[in-house]
Structures are given as C-alpha cells and as structure tokens.
C-alpha cells in the first residue's frame, strides 16, 4: 500500500496568522499519526512563513512515523538535516521567495550540485528524494545523482485530470516506469486530492509514498482531521 505523509505546513500558516500557539503544531502532528498517517512532512522556508525551524526541532522527538523534511538544499537546510536526521530529506529547487513548489530539478544542469548535497545527506544516514517532473532523461540523470527516490511533481496531472484523466496520467506512468527501471523509489505530491488520488494511485506503478498538505488540511475544515485522513487512506487501498 502506498504510504500517506501529511504535510502540516498549512496548520503552521494558520497559527502564524494569529501568533501564539493555536493551533498546536506538535499536537496536530501527533494526532495525524494517531489517525493513521504514515508520515509527517514539513517544508521550512527561509522566511519561516509557515513551518519555523524551531518547529522542526520540536517535532523531532514526537514524530514516530517517517519524518520527511522538504526544502532547497542551502547550507542552513543541510545543517538542519544533519541535526534532525529525519527518515527522508526531499530536495526542491525553490528560490527563497517561491509561493509553493512549482517545478522539478533540472538534473542535467545541476548534476554536480545534486551529487554533492545528496552525498552529504546520505552520510547522515538519511534517505534522499528529489522533486522532479516527468521528463524521462531528467529521471535517468536523477539516478546518477545518487538519490534514493524521486518525488513526481503532480500539479500538471491534477490540472488536466478533470478534463481527461487518461491523458493526465499518461506521462506519469512513463515517468514511474523510467524511475523504477533506473532503480529509484517513487514518491509523488502537489495538488493530489480526494478527487484525483485514487485514480493516480491505481495507475502509477511502484508508488511508495504520497505527500499531501493543502488539499487534506482544507478538507479537514469540513470533514474533521481524523475523518479526512481516513478518507485519504481509503483512496490508497487498491
């Protein structure tokens, strides 16, 4: 079964909008796990507009499932990974002012840089994943970087899905096949939701993990957090 990692950035955004400690991010992470989530994802950004670096340290002792830390591999990020030693570090090519992750790595242009940072992260005993689009050459070159996994950037799938599901998923099937052939594990994330997750998971071979935040937390406003996590888990029961 594909694992569900809940990205709790949006909970931190809500807290930061008012200040203080409500909602309690640590409690939210504990509750997500208690309700069935098989991982917790955070993405600290340089401006700390949602997850703060302090949050990551506070989450470390309470996350009992897989802790996944996403981010651009700056020196500060790499130092955080060295200290926290999460289960997985997911590398994204975001500039500091990016609103959200909206592109995958160019694994040809950044080949030397990725090899260097991935070697460093793996020296800490941390699994690596890199955010990537469906270009098969980029995926094969990702394998050359030494990464353990790739995370398929699924916004294009989500955007096309309502009009033509079959066409929307086609490139992702080929990408997953290429990644598996290259010896890479396959994660996916960005704009996956209750509307499209089941179809995606049914069609993508060897899918190990999905990371979902915005849609899941938004659904929780209507359905409640426990019920929402169970609804998402059901989409992955293939």
Could you confirm whether 70 is annotated as catalytic? Answer: yes
Q: How far apart are CA 77 and CA 94, in angstroms?
A: 13
- Detail the DSSP E strand segments found in 125-192: 127-132, 149-153, 185-189
Pick the catalytic residue from 70, 133, 151, 209. Answer: 70
Which DSSP symbol is given to 207? E
As given in the structure block, the two tokens for residue 24 are 């309690």
Looking up tokens 């640590």 gives: 26
Pick the catalytic residue from 33, 133, 190, 209. Answer: 190
Could you confirm whether 43 is annotated as catalytic? Answer: yes
CB 110 within 8 A of CB 118: no
Pick the catalytic residue from 33, 43, 151, 209. Answer: 43
Q: Minimal CA–CA distance to 127: which of 73, 93, 89, 91?
A: 89
CB 194 within 8 A of CB 231: yes
CB 169 within 8 A of CB 203: yes
CB 43 within 8 A of CB 52: no
Active site residues: 43, 70, 190
């Amino acid at each position: 079964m594909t694992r569900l990692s809940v990205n709790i950035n949006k909970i931190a955004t809500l807290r930061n909008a008012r200040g203080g400690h409500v909602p309690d991010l640590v409690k939210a992470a504990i509750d997500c796990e208690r309700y069935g989530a098989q991982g917790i994802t955070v993405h600290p950004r340089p401006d700390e507009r949602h997850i703060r670096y302090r949050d990551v340290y506070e989450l470390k002792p309470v996350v009992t499932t897989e802790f996944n830390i996403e981010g651009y591999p700056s020196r500060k990020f790499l130092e955080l990974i060295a200290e926290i030693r999460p289960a997985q570090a997911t590398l994204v090519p975001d500039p500091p002012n990016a609103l959200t992750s909206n592109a995958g790595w160019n694994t040809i242009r950044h080949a030397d840089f990725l090899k260097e940072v991935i070697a460093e992260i793996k020296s800490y005993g941390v699994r690596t994943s890199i955010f990537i689009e469906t270009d098969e050459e980029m995926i094969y070159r990702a394998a050359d970087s030494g990464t353990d996994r790739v995370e398929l950037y699924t916004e294009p799938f989500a955007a096309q899905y309502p009009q033509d599901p079959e066409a929307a998923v086609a490139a992702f099937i080929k990408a997953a096949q290429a990644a598996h052939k290259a010896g890479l594990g396959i994660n996916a994330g960005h704009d996956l939701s209750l509307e499209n997750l089941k179809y995606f998971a049914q069609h993508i071979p060897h899918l190990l993990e999905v990371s979902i935040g915005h849609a899941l937390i938004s659904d929780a406003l209507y359905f409640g957090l426990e019920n929402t996590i169970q609804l998402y888990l059901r989409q992955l029961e293939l």
